[in-house]
């Protein structure tokens, strides 16, 4: 039973009432919001001061920031809002930020220092890395093509980008990027070095196995552990974005990703067909079970433009917009059906890098811009550097800047 500030008792809601969100639900998703500069989640760091849920599903979250001018303020507010909004039953979210008191600040710094001391980093992915899982409600809609072209378009914009092929046995990224080299581990660190292909750091089962026979041997052994290894034993370094090409379906890999990488968020690829309702239910369920919020929808295989400029909606139209509205997230882009996506993917020369400009290439580029708007990169200073700076600020007595 959960009691809100207004003393409403949720157990007495009539049976069959719309999903009622509880403060516990909210705290659970807030554990997925990390303070990139302190490297911990805002709940364990003691930054969440208050959570209030009213019976109409409106949620108010109080967050105390280390300093009023915290450079991470926008990121933390935005992440909090998206995470809470992803809960079924939430109708509105308000995030109220305040500056910590001196006592709160020394407590939070102590927790952050303890975390850093314990070195409890479960993965090699930096907390400042924005992790985007490219998912879908059904197979074959273009997740791998989108992941590859999006990663390259982000790299073209000057970001440091990783691309993880999480489709462990249905891998297609090596072919799409034209990568053939095998992955090796560093002698000293024993960490797997990602292949650097066309400017992007990439890891795929396709770069490990020797042949179909070895694949069969590895299959049983590795499936459950593969993602964990790709996140925990690959030297990813300081990435701005890690794009993850998810396997079709809504299974274990999604749940494992949500568990291993709390900062992971999801984009959903869909076709222009109007069967959005079914897909919406499936992806919303996937997001809920993996605790990954959906940041936007990408429509793929939209209107085909012939050489005379006429557009043919071979797979219908409007499905992306309908799905986006249905799950209340932005439509980040619409990629047209374009033969160059197929040939580019087959030849290891993705359209965004092809010499001739195509409608699909242009659409992938504007998709990258739309994603950056919604999920901006965290500042690229290292976490440890930021902690050191904050500690120094505190210890040097620069308290006036902090009191806000
Ligand atoms: N915009 C597009 N225009 C034309 N063909 C496309 C487009 N996007 C993807 N394709 C083609 O559709 C097929 C499926 O794409 P892709 O492999 O990227 O889908 P997927 O969702 O990753 O599939 P799976 O669920 O099997 O992993 C590929 O042959 C690809 O080249
Ligand atoms: Mg795929």
Written as tens digits, the pLDDT of the chain (404 aa) is: 333 333 333 333 333 345 689 999 999 999 999 887 777 889 988 899 999 999 999 999 999 987 777 777 888 999 999 999 989 899 999 999 998 887 787 787 777 767 665 654 578 998 889 999 999 988 899 999 999 999 999 999 999 999 999 998 889 999 999 998 888 888 888 889 999 999 999 999 899 877 666 665 565 556 557 888 899 999 999 999 999 999 987 677 888 888 788 788 999 999 988 776 677 777 777 776 777 888 899 999 987 777 767 777 767 778 889 888 888 889 999 999 999 999 888 999 999 998 778 999 999 999 999 999 999 888 644 444 455 555 554 544 444 444 43
Are 93 and 227 found together in one domain? no
pLDDT at 217: 58
Does 4 fall in a domain?
no
Give the tokens for residue 69: 């001018």
Q: b/e per residue, 351-379, with b = 16+ CB within 10 A?
A: bbbbeeebbbbebbbebbebbbebbebbe
pLDDT at 34: 86
Does 1 fall in a domain?
no
Pocket flag, ligand 1, residue 335 (CB < 6 Å): yes
Does 2 fall in a domain?
no
Are 136 and 259 found together in one domain? yes
Contact in structure between 248 and 136 (CB atoms under 8 Å): yes
Structure-derived torsion over alpha carbons of residues 25, 26, 29, 30, reported in degrees to the nearest 10: -150
Does 47 fall in a domain?
yes
Pocket flag, ligand 1, residue 154 (CB < 6 Å): no
- Under 8 Å CB-to-CB from 30, ≥6 apart: which residues? 41, 42, 43, 48, 51, 61, 80, 83, 84
Does 43 fall in a domain?
yes
Are 270 and 203 found together in one domain? yes
Does 3 fall in a domain?
no
pLDDT at 274: 75
Are 20 and 42 found together in one domain? yes
Are 193 and 111 found together in one domain? no
pLDDT at 310: 75
Are 143 and 244 found together in one domain? yes
Domain tally for the chain?
A: 2
Are 42 and 166 found together in one domain? no
Are 365 and 306 found together in one domain? yes
Which is nearest to 49 in space by CA: 68, 32, 30?
30
The atom number, within ligand 1, closest to the CA of 337 reads 3
The atom number, within ligand 1, closest to the CA of 146 reads 18
Does 358 fall in a domain?
yes
Are 247 and 388 found together in one domain? no
Are 145 and 100 found together in one domain? no
Give the tokens for residue 87: 């809960």
Are 195 and 324 found together in one domain? yes
Pocket flag, ligand 1, residue 166 (CB < 6 Å): no
Question: In this structure, which residue's CA is closest to atom 29 in ligand 1?
Answer: 342
Q: How far is the CA of 337 from the centre of ligand 1 (A)?
A: 10
Read off the CATH number of the domain in which 304 is found: 3.40.50.300
Contact in structure between 333 and 360 (CB atoms under 8 Å): no
Q: How far is the CA of 140 from the centre of ligand 1 (A)?
A: 5
Length, in residues, of the chain: 404
Partners of 295 in beta bridges: none
Mutate to test the pocket of ligand 1, among 167, 345, 349, 366 (most ligand atoms within 8 A of CB): 345
Question: In this structure, which residue's CA is closest to atom 2 in ligand 1?
Answer: 337
Pocket flag, ligand 1, residue 248 (CB < 6 Å): yes
pLDDT at 16: 37
- Under 8 Å CB-to-CB from 365, ≥6 apart: which residues? 153, 156, 352
H helices of 157-210, in order, are 173-177
Look at residue 62 and give its three-state secondary structure.
strand
pLDDT at 176: 96
Mutate to test the pocket of ligand 1, among 142, 304, 336, 344 (most ligand atoms within 8 A of CB): 142
Tell me which residue range forms the domain holding 26: 10-122+380-403
Question: Cα separation of 111 and 116, whole Å?
Answer: 9
pLDDT at 148: 98
Read off the CATH number of the domain in which 42 is found: 3.30.300.130
Q: How far is the CA of 240 from the centre of ligand 2 (A)?
A: 23
Pocket flag, ligand 1, residue 142 (CB < 6 Å): yes
pLDDT at 120: 44
Which contiguous run of DSSP H or E holds residue 331?
strand 331-336
Are 155 and 110 found together in one domain? no
Q: How far is the CA of 282 from the centre of ligand 1 (A)?
A: 20
Structure-derived torsion over alpha carbons of residues 63, 65, 70, 71, reported in degrees to the nearest 10: -50
Question: Cα separation of 374 and 338, whole Å?
Answer: 26
Q: DSSP strand E in 271-327: where?
A: 294-302, 304-305, 311-312
Dihedrals phi, psi of 99, to nearest 5 degrees? -95, 145
Pocket flag, ligand 1, residue 185 (CB < 6 Å): no
Pocket flag, ligand 1, residue 350 (CB < 6 Å): no
pLDDT at 400: 43
Does 188 fall in a domain?
yes
Which contiguous run of DSSP H or E holds residue 153?
helix 143-156
Pocket flag, ligand 1, residue 249 (CB < 6 Å): no
């Amino acid at each position: 039973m959960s009691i809100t500030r207004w003393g409403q008792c949720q157990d007495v809601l009539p049976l069959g009432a719309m999903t009622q969100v509880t403060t516990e639900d909210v705290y659970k998703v807030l554990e997925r919001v990390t303070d990139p500069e302190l490297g911990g989640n805002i709940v364990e760091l003691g930054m969440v001061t208050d959570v209030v849920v009213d019976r109409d599903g409106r949620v108010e979250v109080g967050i105390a920031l280390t300093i009023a001018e915290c450079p991470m303020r926008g990121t933390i507010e935005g992440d909090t809002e998206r995470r809470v909004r992803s809960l079924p039953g939430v109708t509105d979210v308000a995030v109220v930020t305040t500056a910590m008191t001196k006592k709160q600040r020394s407590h939070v710094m102590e927790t952050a220092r303890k975390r850093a001391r314990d070195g409890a980093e479960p993965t090699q992915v930096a907390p400042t890395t924005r992790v985007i899982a490219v998912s879908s409600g059904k197979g074959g809609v273009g997740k791998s093509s989108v992941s590859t072209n999006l990663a390259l378009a982000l790299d073209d914009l000057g970001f440091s980008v990783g691309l993880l092929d999480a489709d462990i046995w249905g891998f297609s990224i090596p072919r799409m990027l034209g990568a053939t080299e095998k992955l090796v581990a560093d002698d000293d660190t024993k960490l797997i070095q990602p292949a650097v292909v066309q400017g992007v750091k990439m890891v795929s089962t396709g770069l490990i196995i020797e042949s179909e026979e070895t694949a069969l041997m590895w299959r049983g052994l590795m499936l459950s552990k593969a993602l964990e290894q790709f996140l925990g034993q690959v030297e990813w370094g300081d990435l701005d974005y890690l794009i993850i090409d998810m396997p079709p379906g809504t299974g274990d890999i999604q749940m494992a990703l949500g568990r291993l990488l709390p900062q992971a968020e999801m984009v959903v690829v869909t076709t222009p067909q109007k069967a959005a309702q079914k897909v919406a239910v499936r992806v919303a369920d996937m997001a809920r079970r993996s605790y990954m919020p959906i940041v936007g929808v990408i429509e793929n295989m939209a209107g085909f433009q012939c050489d005379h400029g006429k557009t043919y909606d071979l797979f219908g139209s409007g499905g992306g917009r309908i799905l986006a509205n249905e799950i209340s997230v932005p439509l980040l882009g619409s990629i047209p059906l374009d033969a160059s996506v197929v040939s580019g993917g087959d030849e290891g020369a993705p359209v965004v890098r092809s010499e001739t400009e195509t409608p699909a290439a242009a659409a992938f580029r504007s998709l990258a811009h739309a994603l950056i708007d919604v999920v901006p990169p965290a500042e690229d200073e290292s976490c440890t550097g930021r902690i050191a700076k904050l500690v120094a600020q505190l210890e040097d007595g620069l308290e006036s800047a902090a009191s806000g």
